């Protein structure tokens, strides 16, 4: 498989070399965490001459004898080299029973630089503080961005490239297949056999068919306001016997496995978070096509999903905005930075343009406001609001 340098992630890993943190790579299955660990290993080998790298990949059968924490700990300690910088790289660490006992012991010796990846349902962001006694540094890895997609294929026509990216998504493992149907089969398999299987194993799911129906409901309603109760009402009308607490738990599990990301609503005028109804976005929009088909493409929702994930890649904390009962697609926050964003497929029709621009014009503070759409034109401004082509925004950070 062709590899490209995923610079933003690699630089984060390089930037914390030598710190006492336990570095944890998280992200949806098949998003490239293992390849990133290999790229980091190559960097260390090339740039740190006095390094000793202990690399264990539990996907390989030769490490089966280390799938118990005492055996793993003994192996690592036996490969320690005094006087060198000892790096421990472990891929799919959840395959080792009680792995946290080994990692905590290694960390306590203060002699190892530790980097680990694992199945997301077993290595949750919310669990890191309780799993490990030492401080953790989380590196969030996402499927390929549009810029990475363009780089991977060496594309020069950005508009055609974006049309293709909308259909193919960022699960790079699918790029090896020539036929679109084969690509979707791969992507569907990742979702069903890896993501949902992880959730079933972690939480002992008694009704996997219900989990699948909930995930398909979310895919079909990407960017719509959604709640556990509204999903329950919809599925109950289809004669599924469920309650909203069960649905709420399943939503949490799907987000824990990075299949979906939940964006809370934020009242811009009242400056408060709203408890009811959230928006859910897929970690990769191609999951929707792979599971539901491409008959109803709904480009507007897909573009909104792409922008949502790109904002997360760029390190923003993102909310769905509300102002005077009108929806603002995204309120993106980062330290002292705030951006209000509307996303649309096509704003050439005056009514559509008015619908997208009006909520932004009603916001009275001085923070930047932006409409991102498929304009195929250079950026321009309308009454202080930037109008930006989606391909330009995605390619120019």
pLDDT per residue, tens digit, the chain (397 aa), is 678 889 999 999 999 999 999 999 998 888 999 999 999 999 999 999 999 999 999 989 999 999 999 999 999 999 999 999 999 999 999 889 999 999 999 999 999 999 999 876 667 666 787 889 878 999 999 999 999 999 999 999 999 999 999 999 999 999 999 999 999 999 999 999 878 888 888 888 888 888 899 999 999 999 898 988 888 888 887 666 788 888 999 999 999 889 999 999 877 776 777 767 899 999 999 999 999 998 777 899 999 999 999 999 999 999 998 877 788 999 999 988 999 999 999 999 999 999 999 999 998 889 999 999 999 999 999 999 999 999 999 999 6
Give pLDDT, residue 29. 85
Query: Long-range CB contacts (< 8 A, 24+ apart) of 288-295?
Result: 288/219, 288/220, 288/222, 289/167, 289/169, 289/184, 289/187, 290/183, 290/184, 290/185, 290/187, 290/188, 290/191, 291/188, 291/191, 291/215, 291/216, 291/219, 292/216, 292/219, 292/220, 294/167
In the structure encoding, which two tokens stand for residue 241, read together?
A: 């016997």
The enclosing H or E element of 274 equals strand 272-282
Domains contained in the chain, CATH given? 7-140 (3.40.50.300), 146-395 (no CATH)
The residue whose two tokens read 């008015």 is 354
pLDDT at 240: 66
Q: Looking at residue 1, what is its pLDDT?
A: 64
Tell me how crowded residue 176 is: count the other CB atoms within 10 A of its CB.
11
Strand partners, 319: 331
Nearest residue to 258 (alpha-carbon basis) of 169, 173, 141, 166 = 141
pLDDT of residue 238: 66
Residue 326: predicted pLDDT: 81
Tell me what pLDDT residue 71 has.
98
- pLDDT for residue 102: 96
């Amino acid at each position: 498989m062709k590899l490209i340098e995923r610079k933003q992630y690699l630089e984060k890993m390089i930037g914390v070399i030598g710190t006492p943190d336990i570095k944890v790579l998280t992200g949806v299955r098949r998003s490239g965490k293992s390849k990133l660990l290999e790229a980091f290993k190559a960097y260390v080998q090339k740039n740190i001459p006095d390094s000793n790298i202990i690399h264990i990949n539990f996907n390989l059968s030769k490490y089966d004898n280390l799938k118990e924490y005492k055996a793993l700990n003994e192996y690592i300690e036996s490969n320690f080299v005094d006087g060198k910088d000892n790096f421990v790289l472990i891929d799919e660490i959840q395959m080792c029973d009680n792995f946290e006992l080994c990692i905590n012991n290694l960390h306590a010796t203060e002699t190892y630089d530790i980097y680990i990846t694992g199945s997301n349902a077993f290595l949750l962001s919310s669990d890191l503080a309780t799993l490990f006694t030492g401080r953790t540094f989380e590196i969030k890895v996402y499927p390929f961005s549009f810029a990475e997609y363009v780089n991977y294929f060496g594309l020069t026509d950005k508009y055609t490239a974006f049309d293709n990216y909308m259909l193919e998504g960022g699960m790079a493992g699918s790029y090896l297949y020539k036929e679109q149907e084969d690509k979707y089969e791969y992507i569907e398999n990742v979702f069903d056999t890896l993501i949902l299987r992880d959730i079933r194993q972690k939480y002992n799911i008694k009704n996997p068919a219900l989990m699948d129906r909930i995930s398909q409901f979310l895919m079909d309603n990407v960017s719509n306001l959604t709640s556990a109760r509204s999903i329950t009402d919809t599925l109950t009308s289809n004669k599924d016997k469920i309650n909203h607490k069960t649905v709420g738990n399943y939503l949490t599990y799907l987000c824990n496995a990075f299949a979906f990301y939940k964006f809370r609503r934020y009242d811009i005028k009242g400056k408060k978070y709203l408890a009811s109804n959230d928006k859910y976005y897929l970690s990769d929009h191609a999951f929707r096509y792979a599971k539901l088909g491409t008959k109803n493409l709904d480009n507007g929702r897909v573009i909104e999903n792409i922008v949502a994930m790109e904002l997360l890649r760029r390190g923003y904390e993102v909310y769905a905005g509300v102002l005077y009962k009108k929806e603002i697609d995204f309120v993106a926050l980062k330290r002292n930075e705030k951006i209000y964003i509307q996303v649309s497929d096509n704003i050439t029709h005056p009514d559509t343009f008015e619908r997208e621009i009006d909520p932004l014009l009603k916001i009275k503070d001085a923070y930047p406001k932006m409409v991102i759409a498929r304009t195929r034109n250079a950026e321009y401004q309308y009454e202080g609001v930037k109008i930006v082509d989606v391909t330009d925004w995605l390619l120019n950070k």
